[in-house]
Structure 1
């Protein structure tokens, strides 16, 4: 994230789905503080909660002793939110297409697809253990 200009705030929580409400409140605060447009707010909230869910379930494999860190940055016309887990990462370049007929009935596998659909840019670092979501302000 070398291009990031200004750190805004962060939150670190135990890796449990129960902490989703804390992450949602964090996103609310950041969006208010950074004057995110109402029409963009939903995209930010859903993309970050998807990244958080993936961090808990897949990255940290449900281990509540692990942490998830969410950080917010401002970068020339963008708000960037990063979600980092303590896992080993994943092969983000070779994910099954959730829109393929054989995958339509599956309950999982849409998180990265949703993030890419909702954010203006999605980057993966640290072998996928860190996702950076960028949204135009």
Structure 2
């Protein structure tokens, strides 16, 4: 099993590092453009959420990004050092009353771009799973 990890301080500009990490995964696993695009959006969204909401942009707190190849699936795990959140009761960003509200779209996007999204540790950790087979 391949397993690659990086840990970054919670600064929004560190998304560049995450983009490079995903570019390397594209090369390493010969990803097609459509799945690569989905991975880029979903994983950067998850890391952004971890930086902004999980760790509150506290540069002393890190975000861990891990990539694993499990069977025919690529799994990206994003973990922050925050308090977690109630991921089971999120407002629907597509509901008319929420269309004008900022926020709430990240997890919706992740769920639509990934084959599976699994939260752990009270929302501090999320697995984004993409089927390659």
Bucket of the pairwise TM-score, normalised by the shorter protein: over 0.9
The one of 91, 95, 102 equivalent to 2:97 is 102
Question: Within 2, Cα distance between the matches of 1:31 and 1:47?
Answer: 14
Question: Within 1, Cα distance between the matches of 2:69 and 2:77?
Answer: 11
Q: What TM-score do the two structures reach when normalised by structure 2?
A: 0.96
Aligned pairs for 1:26-105 within 5 A: 26-105=21-100
Name the counterpart of 1:12. Answer: 7
Question: Within 2, Cα distance between the matches of 1:35 and 1:75?
Answer: 16
Shift of residue 39, structure 1, vs aligned partner: 1.6
Q: Root-mean-square deviation (CA), in Å?
A: 0.8
Question: Within 1, Cα distance between the matches of 2:26 and 2:3?
Answer: 11
Q: What TM-score do the two structures reach when normalised by structure 1?
A: 0.93
The one of 19, 24, 29 equivalent to 1:24 is 19
Between stretches 57-66 and 117-126, larger displacement belongs to: 57-66
Are 2:105 and 1:121 equivalent residues in the alignment?
no
Deviations 1:39-97 (A, max 9, x none): 21000000000000100111001211100010000011110000000011111000010
Name the counterpart of 1:3. Answer: none
SS in 1 for 2:102: coil
Q: Which runs of 5+ in 1 are unaligned?
A: 1-5
Q: Which runs of 5+ in 2 are unaligned?
A: none
Shift of residue 24, structure 1, vs aligned partner: 0.6
